Each structure stands twice: as structure tokens, then as C-alpha cells.
Structure 1
């Protein structure tokens, strides 16, 4: 009887436990190393409108390091969001990069015990307040978080997103310069068809917010993996495709004119940069734009799917467009 009572106590202390393995989590004190990498043949002077500044391979002895699916910049921080519901906050001041903090989402779909509960794929981070919006696959929902990046304050699961599939949901989330939010479906099922998208007049989690339907047409064979907005209001969409065997990825950046982003539109753009080699032919999933001393910078991060033998690449480009 004593062993039964002990087991019952454990189950009561771990709500929602189903027998499935715990979601792998990066330790709060996980070490971080960064080493410069250069593509074969060296860096070109420019890749379309992008001038390479450099790239780093981020590494850790923690076996759960990586899996980054979204990226944001705030002040002197790069904020990387894993597809397991964890933020890695990096100091990027004075040409050095160091771990500042690792934050796990306390609130979200389900109990947070399994990876399916924290399939976080897209991110908008307000640079002034620190409030964050996160797009979840599996449940196809958007959650809003307080500046501590751990506690949720609102959530919405738009009816139109219910048809976005189990693992093909809101891969891209971006706030436009006029305050509207654009969310784009990944959609792997038919690579030739346009992807679903929704356009919100403001905060998608605000009471009564309704997204207007539109679509995005990626380059043939590609799927959108993230998006960011330029100072002039145009949107850059990061797109990737994969090849196997061997496992390798191509990554291209598409520019969408701001005036074309409206309800009912089919968003099309032209490929302005092929960054496959710059990203070591890895799985580029996060893109962000920021302005440094009047110059627009574009950052891109890859998702190694928490495979330690694959690098996590963080690259920086100067925007010349």
C-alpha cells in the first residue's frame, strides 16, 4: 500500500502526466559557445540586396540545445525561440555574443509536459514593452505573453486556422509597421498551392479581433518558414525546401510589397536572395530585421531539430536594398 500511495502522490504532483516522455528542456545554466563560420569559397561581397556581415555556429554541451524556429531583436539582445517553448536570450553587444538567460514558457496549450504542447513556431516581440505574440502549431493558435516571456495574457484560435493542419500551421507571424499582424501557414501538403494567411487590423488576441483571409504564393517547391518587416513597410518572407538524401536545405528570401498586403490578396514577390550557402545549407527558420546606427540589418537563424551533429547557424547581413 505504501508504494501505491507514493505513486499516487507523484501523479498528483505532475498534472497531466500520461506516460509520455517529458519535453526536453535546455537547462537554465546551459553553457554556450560561438565560433565564426565561413561558407566554402569565402563570403561574397553581396547576395542580392544582402551584404554578409558574418555567421556563427552556436554550440552547447547540453544535449537539448537548438531547435530554434523564430528570432527577434530587442535592444542589445537577440531572442531565439525554440520549437519546444523556450527562449534563449543572447547579449550581442560589442561584437560579442553571450548567454543572458534561458526562459521557459509556463503557460501555453496543454500541460506543457509533452513537446506537442509547446510547438512554438513564430514570434513577434514588441521592442518597447517586451510583450510577445507566439504562433503555435498543432493547436493553430496565437498566444500573447507578458514581458517576462513566461506568462500568457491572452490567446486566440481563429476559426480559419483550424484547417491549417496538424504540423503545417502558423509558421510565420509578423507585425506590420501600421500595427496590423500577418500570419502565414507553412503548408507542406501540396507544395504548389498558395498558403493560407490571415491579416488582423491589430493585436490578433484582442477581444473581437477577426482576421481577414488572404494567401501567400511561395517559390515553387518552397515553404514559408518566417517573415519580418523592413523600415519601408515591405515584408521579407524566408522560405526553405529540403533534399534527402543527403539532408540539406535551400533557403531564399522573398520581398512582398507593402501595398499588396490587403484582405483577399494573393501575395506574391520576387526572390531577392538565395542564402542557402550562407546558412550552411541548414534549416533556416527564423528571420528578423533591426536598425543599427541608421542601417537595416537582417538576422537569420537555423533549426537543427536538436540534432547535436547539426549546427545552429546565426547569420547577420546588411540590407542594401
Structure 2
């Protein structure tokens, strides 16, 4: 069963048309009906790629940050899209979630110069409930965040706010959820469309080692700061992130030195879409703290960006980090699924 929200893009387009045009568009629906994924299985899909060489738009990049290139992804499979979070298992293999209630896994492909050129071995599977069934309710499967911890994954959902663990990761078609994770504050205080957009495991050797760090998108306390939590580890508790300039946090990743990198997005009719990367000092993240940090990157609609929602870091042998960012196209013909890559040099 296809969850609410994953309808064919063409159908949505047809609804914006009138008369004969709408009818003509709907005639083509038989060629774009989403595939049915049998229970316990995964669906291999074809994904096409168009290379992005130039970010354009004169974005602001801090010293040490370089744009390496990117790809625009598309697929004839209507289930593809709505990317909310991405995590890399190694230098090539990735795992992600769609906010329409699906897993995605695959491998990135690079050209002779090491730049992103495409993705291979892409497969989808529905996020199952505890009984092993696929949900038909968007309210129950609005997956927005993902963290990997060995053989299990933490997935954060909004609308019905919760974070649950899934296993086994070796066979996502059969992965089942556990009971929800306990938090240091009542999840009823979270904004209906502004819950846990960021889940990330603290790195080994850091002061938060063993903890899950969870950050909401736009759920504010009485002082206007964003709710966040440290779950487990030696410094468990709640903290806050200071919002800046109407940007909303959409994902996060820890850097090898223990600092936390936030991916942020802004959208308005007046200014269009914006993207930002903000670096939080790792030592500042502790219970009762209100954290903030320096801006490493900012771009607006003039650049090759979209609704950027997923971020992960791939450490390199020379101490640098490759940052990969993905966008959520909302299954809209007006948006794109992008995968952009940056290099962050080691701090001197």
C-alpha cells in the first residue's frame, strides 16, 4: 500500500490543470503508478544522474570549505523522492529515509577525478510497524531523521513524535521497530511539523561518547531556543540550540574532532530557499547549555540548492572531511533531489 503523500508527481501536476489538459495528463497515470513492494522485500530501482559542476550564485564559504560537485537525481519510480536524512556506512554505501515512510539504500559512484557522478544498487523498502506491516497513514510514517549505531538504526518521526530503533539493518525489508526512546522532556511540547529533524550518534573519544543527540527543527522553549536532547552516555539531559536568522535545523553530523555540524534551511516567498552550515563546538554540548556556532556556508536560490534536508560526513585519511548533503523534493515538479559534496579541511 502506498502511504499518503507518495502520489505520482504527474497526478499532482494534472490537478493544477483544467479541462482537456488535466484529462491528458491523467491518461498517463498508468505508466507512473508506484510499485508495490511485497512484505519483507526490497525494490531495486533505476536512478538517473545529471552532474552539477558549478554551485553558482556566489555563496559564502568559510576558509577551508570547498565545493567539490554534485548530482541531480531522478527516477521513473514514483516512490523515489522526499529524502529526509542520509547516513554513510562506509565511503560509498549509504542508507537513508524518505518522509513518505521508506528506506533507501545504495552506493555513490565517482568519476576518474573522484567527483560524484551517480548512484548504483539503489533499493527501497517501507518502514514497517511492529507487526511487520506497512502503514497507509502519512501521520505515522513521517520519517525525518536517522542515526546509525552498529547493527541498528534510530529513526525520528514527526507529526506523531517519537524516535524508535530498527533492526536488522542487513535486511531493511524485514527491519522492525522497537519501543520508542525515552526523552528528558515531554514530546507533546513539540511543534506538529517541527519535531526531531536531526539524530546523530556521538563519536568515540568525545565527551558524549555513546549518546544519541537529537535536535528538533522548530520547537521552541519559552526563551525562543530550540529543544534538543542528549540520550544516554555520561552527560544525558536536555539542552537548547540558539536559532539564527529564521533558518531551521534539518540535519546534523559530528565531525572527527567532536564538533557538531548543523544543516539549516530557510524558505519564504520573499527570499526563496536558503541553505546554511553552522559549526557547534563539541565541548559546549552539555545538559542545560544553549549552544551556537560559526557559519561555514550560506547560499540562496541563485545557487544550485533546493530543500536541503540530509547531511553526513565522510572522514578522509588526510584529516579532511567530505560533506554530502541531499534535498527533499516533496514529490513536486518544482523541486529536485540533489546530492551535493563539499570538502572541509582540517582545522589548523
Give the TM-score range, shorter chain.
0.7 to 0.9
In structure 2, do the counterparts of structure 1 residues 139 and 195 end up closer, same or farther at CA, with 3 Å as the change threshold? same
Structure 1 counterpart of 2:20:
none
Structure 2 counterpart of 1:175:
201
Please state how far the C-alpha of 1:145 moved relative to its aligned partner: 0.7
In structure 2, do the counterparts of structure 1 residues 47 and 98 end up closer, same or farther at CA, with 3 Å as the change threshold? farther
Residue segments in structure 1 that go unaligned for 5+ positions in a row: 1-13, 15-19, 203-208
Rounded Cα–Cα distance in structure 2 between residues aligned with 1:263 and 1:124: 20
1:119 aligns with 2:142: yes
Structure 2 counterpart of 1:252:
276
Structure 1 counterpart of 2:161:
140
Contact 1:30 1:60 in 2 (8 A): yes
Rounded Cα–Cα distance in structure 2 between residues aligned with 1:79 and 1:98: 13
Larger mean CA deviation between 38-47 and 167-176 belongs to 38-47
1:193-212 alignment, distance < 5 Å: 193-202=224-233, 212=237
Please state how far the C-alpha of 1:40 moved relative to its aligned partner: 6.2
Q: How many equivalent pairs are there?
A: 294
In structure 2, do the counterparts of structure 1 residues 211 and 162 end up closer, same or farther at CA, with 3 Å as the change threshold? farther
Larger mean CA deviation between 61-70 and 151-160 belongs to 151-160
Rounded Cα–Cα distance in structure 1 between residues aligned with 2:4 and 2:306: 27
1:169-318 alignment, distance < 5 Å: 169-177=195-203, 178-187=209-218, 193-202=224-233, 212-244=237-269, 248-276=272-300, 280-294=304-318, 295-318=320-343
Q: How far does the alpha carbon of each residue in 1:54-87 deviate from its partner, in whole angstroms, 9 at most, with x for none?
A: 1100011223321111110012212231111212
Contact 2:84 2:144 in 1 (8 A): yes
Rounded Cα–Cα distance in structure 1 between residues aligned with 2:50 and 2:215: 33
Rounded Cα–Cα distance in structure 1 between residues aligned with 2:127 and 2:69: 31
Q: TM-score, normalised on structure 2?
A: 0.75
Q: How far does the alpha carbon of each residue in 1:174-219 deviate from its partner, in whole angstroms, 9 at most, with x for none?
A: 11111212111111679x92111111124xxxxxx99512111122
Rounded Cα–Cα distance in structure 1 between residues aligned with 2:235 and 2:129: 23
Contact 1:51 1:319 in 2 (8 A): yes
Larger mean CA deviation between 237-246 and 102-111 belongs to 102-111
Structure 2 counterpart of 1:102:
124
Residue segments in structure 2 that go unaligned for 5+ positions in a row: 8-33, 36-42, 112-117, 204-208
Rounded Cα–Cα distance in structure 2 between residues aligned with 1:300 and 1:33: 18
Q: Output the aligned Cα RMSD.
A: 3.1
Rounded Cα–Cα distance in structure 2 between residues aligned with 1:167 and 1:41: 31
1:9-88 alignment, distance < 5 Å: 22=4, 24=6, 27=35, 28-39=43-54, 41=56, 47-75=62-90, 76-88=92-104
Q: How far does the alpha carbon of each residue in 1:274-296 deviate from its partner, in whole angstroms, 9 at most, with x for none?
A: 14469624111111011233431
In structure 2, do the counterparts of structure 1 residues 303 and 220 end up closer, same or farther at CA, with 3 Å as the change threshold? same
Please state how far the C-alpha of 1:272 moved relative to its aligned partner: 1.5
Contact 1:236 1:253 in 2 (8 A): yes
Please state how far the C-alpha of 1:256 moved relative to its aligned partner: 0.5
Rounded Cα–Cα distance in structure 1 between residues aligned with 2:102 and 2:325: 18
Q: TM-score, normalised on structure 1?
A: 0.81
Rounded Cα–Cα distance in structure 1 between residues aligned with 2:156 and 2:213: 11
Secondary structure of 1:259's partner?
Answer: helix
